[in-house]
Amino acid sequence: MTLVNESLFKNYMLNILFILLIPFQLFAEISLCGNYQINGVIRKLNSDRVLVVNEKTQSEHHVYFDVTHQPELAIYDNKDITAIVTLEKKFNGTSGSASNLLSIKSRIPNPLMPKDTHFTLIKEAHCKN
């Protein structure tokens, strides 16, 4: 192989590795406890309102809130929101509970990127078991 072909091959292999690692990076992000900024949609499931992230995908996640936060969430039924929450326990697969709702506000979804919901770790903290 020539030097140019070796360089292209290395770039190709690095791109494949990066694409394969993306799902693990996303999972690792929500396996930590702490404060998160979450972009998602409030949906009513059974009698509870839940923050849904990556709706209607294989990586759909549900964040549940206790009864004290339900009236505050009712205002945002079926709306896109940005919330800052505290997660004190690791997610159980694709669902978890927020121990505290620090802030919530409406957001305008990006029309060029309809699946623009995600978790962003703001401050890591120790998990409670």
Residue 95: pLDDT over 80 = yes
Residue 37 lies in a domain: yes
118: domain CATH number is 2.40.50
Q: Which pLDDT belongs to residue 27?
A: 44
Residue 127: C-alpha distances to residues 1, 8, 74 (Å): 51, 43, 28
Residue-wise pLDDT tens digits, 1-29: 565 567 777 767 666 654 554 444 444 44
Residue 84 lies in a domain: yes
From CA 24, how far away is CA 68, in angstroms rounded?
A: 33
- The number of folded domains in the chain is 1
- The model's confidence at residue 92, banded by pLDDT at 50, 70 and 90, is confident
As a whole number, the mean pLDDT across the chain is 83
Residue 31: pLDDT over 80 = no
Residue-wise pLDDT tens digits, 56-82: 888 899 999 999 999 999 999 999 999
Residue 2 lies in a domain: no
Contact 14, 78 (CB under 8 A): no
From CA 40, how far away is CA 116, in angstroms rounded?
A: 8
Residue type, 85: V
Contact 74, 22 (CB under 8 A): no
Task: Look up the domain containing 50 and give its range.
Answer: 31-125
